[in-house]
Amino acid sequence: MTAMTAATDAGHDVLNATPGMTGMFNDESFFFETLRALGYAHYGGADIGEVFGTADRIPDGDETAWYTQWRALAERIHADADRSADEGHRVSAQESYLRASNYYRLCAFYLRVDPADDPLVREVGQLSIDMFARAAQLMSSPPERVRFPYEDTTLPGWWIPAEAGSAHPSGGHPDGPRPTLLFHGGFDSTEEELYFSGGAAAARRGYHVLAFAGPGQGSALRDQQLLFRPDWDAVVTPAVDWLLARPDVDHDRIALMGMSFGGELAPRAAANEHRLAALIAYDGLYSFGGAVQNKVGPAIMELVRDGADTKVNALIEETMSSNTQLRSLFNWGNWVYGVDGPAAVIRATDAYTLEGYAPLITCPTLVLEGENDFGPGQASPLFEALRCQKTYHLFPTAEGGGEHCQAGATSKLHQVIFDWLDTVLALPREQPAPPKRLHITKGGSESYRHEEQARCARFFP
């Protein structure tokens, strides 16, 4: 446990060294989740003064106050939205409903002691959906709530159409089929959050978007009790099938993007789903099991391998009592993996790896990484294992994008993602993309780290 405590202290040192972003919380998890929500201001998901004013009323690590204060804000903005809607002020209502949706999501974040049976989790989750749905109805190009077939049920998502009047990303006819982004989140995201983290940016640039929740995510977890599965192609393939049945989708230009834990899930799907034209790992995650093992340390892992679950659980739970990030990870892990106890969560994450899968990916791939990511060292092994056309981009902390999934640097993040995607999808789709050097970027500079060429052997139906 000493190693875990030392790692936590080191994390606080890094956090407190981040320029201009240390005034909200000393608690690393509270800081990050607030920054995550604040970053969505760019697409209408937050207002800076509302976020800072609410954060000021929440003591470090006080999860009860977290829920109470963010819910109070959500309810206030919800009431503002209803009033504007009743008075016919459509723009004001839309803007307020969007913020209320994000704030309802945020207030529920630490309701993790028994989320499967906590009525507040379902109540607040539904409020977040309802607020987004009301905002969508007021947009000029309204997102639509959709479901697509999955095994013997369906999965939920939002169809976010390209903004009216936006240019065609690959130069086609404005009224013709468009490139489409298939987008899912990670360990604790919701399908509504995806609008702020990438869906709106894609639609603004002329892409259609299917933003969805897979098993273990959003309302698929909360309302359908569907749990995570490592063979993520079983989730993505029916989504691709659904897109290919739509006449407004360019069937040769479907890109897949996974956020956070989705940076492992999406590449795992792309290893077997070869109808994808591009892949974005945001951020790249080679092994979720490896990231969790690094977090708990070698002494704990030796006990896990020895089957000393009782001791493992006692040691980790002791640390969880004072470590918000670990408490959040393991309490949530119990639900999304359908297990009980930290040792079981650790074992469940073992299956989530790209070892042996990354070399099977055939489409051009963008791997992102934040310099200050709390799962460091995961993007590079993914990039190195790829055998397709590939690009790696590191976001430096000094430029504001160093946090996990570039929280707080939304504009720069989307510039990198969509400038790359525009270029990749503009290539002719009749033949494989030409050989290219392995392309490495860091901030605004570019260099070539390898002299050998990388080729993407594209598959076409």
Count Cβ neighbours within 10 Å for each residue of 282-292 and write b for 16 or more, e otherwise: bbbbbbbbbbb
Contacts of 137 (CB under 8 A, 6+ apart): none
Dihedral pair phi/psi, residue 158, rounded to 5°: -125, 125
Q: Which DSSP string do the residues of 48-71 spell out, in sequence order?
A: HHHHHHHHTTS-TT-HHHHHHHHH
- From 153, 211, 150, 159, select the one nearest 186 (Cα to Cα): 211
Q: How far apart are CA 431 and CA 461, in angstroms?
A: 12
DSSP β-bridge partners for residue 63: none
Q: Which residue of the set 96, 170, 260, 328 is catalytic?
A: 260
Q: CA 307 to CA 310: how far, in whole Å?
A: 9
CA dihedral 283, 287, 291, 293 (to 10 degrees): 170
Q: How many CA atoms lie within 13 A of 8 on its CB side?
A: 18
Q: Hey, is 265 helix, strand or coil? A: helix
Nearest residue to 268 (alpha-carbon basis) of 366, 172, 353, 152 = 353
- Is the N-terminal amide bond of 233 cis, ω within 30° of 0? no
Beta carbons of 293 and 301 less than 8 angstroms apart: yes
> To which residue do tokens 């995806």 refer?
194
| Buried b or exposed e, range 109-135, using 16+ CB within 10 angstroms | bbbbeebeeeeebbebbebbbbbbbbb
HSE toward the beta carbon, residue 336, CA cutoff 13 A: 28
Q: Tell me, yes or no, if 260 is annotated catalytic.
A: yes
Residues belonging to the active site? 260
